[in-house]
Amino acid sequence: MTQQTWNPESYAKNARFVSDLGEPLLDLLQLVPGERILDLGCGDGALTEKLVAAGGLVLGVDASAEQVQATRQRGLEAEVCTAENLPFVEEFDAVFSNAVLHWVKDQPTAIAKVYRSLKPNGRFVAEMGGFGNVATIRNALHTALQNRSINPQEYDPWFFPTADEYRVLLEDQGFEVDSIVLFSRPTPLPGDISGWLETFAQPFLCALPPDNWEACVEEVRDRLRPTLFQEGQGWIADYTRSRFRAIRRAA
């Protein structure tokens, strides 16, 4: 399967709302100045910067070298690393993560690596796509691939669990779950849905030759328009989020 790639300029244009809407997660973190924080999936560093402004000693990690570069250009510390390959042992007071975990393939390994990265009593505070997230968009992408005799399951990279499902994944790796909630958050997009599709749905488009992408995006857009577009309001994506706070208890 082709990997999702991130371009900092198109991310800033089509996806700035991701970090803007992730800001309430900072309240759930309750950062104490001087704490060491790992920002897992820091993207272009927009929230990493807020964590630093709140007094955190923050390291950002991201799977995308381009996004790590964008974070460093803000003067912040960042390294290329995936969630499954975190090398840290009891280094952080908290691991913070916004809008990344739904891309992670091997959830048990990633959660175990987060657990190991935390000091005893450290907290894991995160938001991710939850069960039913972007279901209308996902269905339209599946239909577009099926119409071309391609099995969409082979290209669909997203994991959107229920709260109970993710609670079990966290508890299986030793976490005590303080809170986990699933909520609907219809999200106005900054432009046309085609920008969202080109930014977030690359693994589906990569099932096709590049000269078919534009027609596929058009077809998906036409299918979504009656449900997700409103005159005067524009495109509104059917986001559902899962937000949790879990603790690595002292042994």
Which residues contact ligand BEZ (rule: CB under 6 A)? 18, 99, 129, 133-134, 158, 200, 239
Give bridge partners of residue 96 from the DSSP assignment. Answer: 39, 125
CB of 21 to ligand BEZ, least distance (A): 9
Nearer of residues 51 and 128 to ligand BEZ, judged by Cβ: 128
Nearer of residues 92 and 239 to ligand BEZ, judged by Cβ: 239
Nearer of residues 149 and 153 to ligand BEZ, judged by Cβ: 153
Nearer of residues 102 and 248 to ligand BEZ, judged by Cβ: 102
CB of 239 to ligand BEZ, least distance (A): 5
CB of 244 to ligand BEZ, least distance (A): 15
What backbone phi and psi angles, to 5 degrees, belong to 9?
-70, -45
Nearer of residues 35 and 127 to ligand BEZ, judged by Cβ: 127
CB of 45 to ligand BEZ, least distance (A): 17
Nearer of residues 60 and 129 to ligand BEZ, judged by Cβ: 129
CB of 101 to ligand BEZ, least distance (A): 10
3-state secondary structure the chain: CCCCCCCHHHHHHHHHHHHHHCCHHHHHHCCCCCCEEEEECCCCCHHHHHHHHCCCEEEEEECCHHHHHHHHHCCCCEEECCHHHCCCCCCEEEEEEECCHHHCCCHHHHHHHHHHHEEEEEEEEEEEECCCCCHHHHHHHHHHHHCCCCCHHHCCCCCCCCHHHHHHHHHHCCCEEEEEEEEEEEEECCCCHHHHHHHHCHHHHCCCCHHHHHHHHHHHHHHHHHHHEECCCEEEEEEEEEEEEEECCCC
For residue 161, which amino acid is it?
A: P
Residue nearest to ligand BEZ (CB): 129
CB of 100 to ligand BEZ, least distance (A): 8
